[in-house]
């Protein structure tokens, strides 16, 4: 199992398969289209909920459980979908919309856990969250460019050997882990600033 990384109130663990069918890189993106459509709409909902959460936290200092649940569901769904699109796994992700902090375990290769902050939120950092997240977004954007190159190299590796090169796979999983932390921060689930660290 790929470790859960640095201690942060949002964690991602991935259990890679021993081998991946050689044809997976050719079709996983196509098979994932229904999930991508669902993910698109979940992303729109998460954006609206993020804006609502911003106002609610600024005025009350608290994050309602229902709003946090939507954000956790979106983040978990994104990670399940993209580990499949990038042919890191063979199991088709479930169309599951569990809005829980603890991972329900209905998709064993992907484990996403949260420790959201509900009360006594830092209104100052919430108020400027869209500015504070900019450095993270820039670094993450650059990492996703490198991730795309890694996936392209892995495309041929899996096509011919049926295996992801371990170093490339670990890098991709660590970039996803970074994305998770930044998303949890940007979508106002936590106030702790994400570390600039892979892993």
Q: Nearest 5°: phi and psi at 162?
A: 80, 15
* Per-residue pLDDT tens digits for 109-122: 999 999 999 999 99
Cα–Cα dist 191/9, whole Å: 9
Judged against a pLDDT cut of 90, whether residue 102 lies above it is answered with no
Average pLDDT in the 131-143 region?
97
**How far, CA to CA in Å, does 42 sit from each of 64, 130, 142, 160?**
18, 20, 24, 35
Other Cβ atoms closer than 10 A to 161: 12
**How far, CA to CA in Å, does 171 sit from each of 67, 127, 164?**
31, 33, 11
Judged against a pLDDT cut of 60, whether residue 2 lies above it is answered with no
Judged against a pLDDT cut of 70, whether residue 75 lies above it is answered with yes
Q: Among residues of the chain, what percentage have pLDDT more than 90?
A: 89
pTM (predicted TM-score): 0.92
């Amino acid at each position: 199992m790929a470790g859960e990384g640095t201690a942060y109130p949002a964690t991602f663990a991935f259990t890679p398969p021993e081998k991946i069918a050689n044809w997976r890189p050719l079709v996983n993106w196509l098979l994932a289209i229904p999930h991508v459509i669902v993910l698109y709409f979940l992303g729109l909902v998460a954006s609206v909920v993020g804006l609502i959460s911003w106002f609610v936290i600024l005025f009350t200092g608290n994050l309602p459980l229902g709003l946090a649940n939507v954000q956790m569901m979106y983040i978990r769904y994104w990670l399940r979908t993209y580990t499949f699109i990038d042919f890191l796994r063979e199991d088709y992700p479930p169309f599951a919309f569990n809005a829980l902090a603890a991972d329900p375990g209905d998709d064993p290769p992907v484990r996403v856990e949260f420790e959201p902050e509900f009360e006594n939120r830092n209104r100052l950092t919430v108020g400027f969250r869209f500015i504070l997240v900019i450095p993270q977004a820039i670094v993450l954007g650059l990492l996703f460019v490198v991730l795309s190159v890694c996936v392209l190299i892995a495309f041929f590796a899996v096509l011919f050997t049926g295996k992801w090169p371990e170093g490339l796979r670990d890098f991709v999983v660590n970039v996803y882990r970074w994305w998770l932390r930044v998303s949890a921060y940007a979508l106002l689930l936590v106030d702790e600033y994400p570390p600039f660290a892979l892993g």
